[in-house]
Amino acid sequence: MSEAQTQIKETVTNNDVVLFMKGTKDMPQCGFSSRVAGVLNFIGVDYTDVNVLADEGIRQGIKDYSDWPTIPQLYVKGEFVGGCDIITEMTLSGELDTLFEENGITYDKTSAEKIREANA
């Protein structure tokens, strides 16, 4: 396992929620990363952000690790959940709420419902 793969595995194992993204949760550097970070920020999820632009090894390594070609990538309790389209769909369907509840992840359900209301 490469150094990047080891670092990725440790990050997703040692943190309940991890978003591999372009930029940071406070300063996303692409629209897709901004959308996912925006959802997580709005619903108050405590998550670790990993800026793939800061390390080419991590940027390619996360794609190899998940066998998923795009960034952002969300992990919950060490499991790959998906990228922007999947997270958007799960947010709007309520599946993301269920995933967080099943894994003991704290979030603001009222804010999650506001997102669904605004997109109904």
67-105 pLDDT, tens digit each: 999 999 999 999 999 999 999 999 999 999 999 999 999
What proportion of the chain, given as a percentage, has pLDDT over 70? 99
Q: Does 84 appear as a known binding residue?
A: no
The total domain count for the chain is 1
pLDDT of residue 2: 85
For residue 114, give its domain range: 3-118
pLDDT of residue 120: 87
Q: If DSSP states are collapsed to H, E and C, what string results for the chain?
A: CCHHHHHHHHHHHHCCEEEEECECCCCECCHHHHHHHHHHHHCCCCCEEEEHHHCHHHHHHHHHHHCCCCCCEEEECCEEEECHHHHHHHHHHCHHHHHHHHCCCCCCHHHHHHHHHHCC
CATH number at residue 88: 3.40.30.10
pTM of the model: 0.96
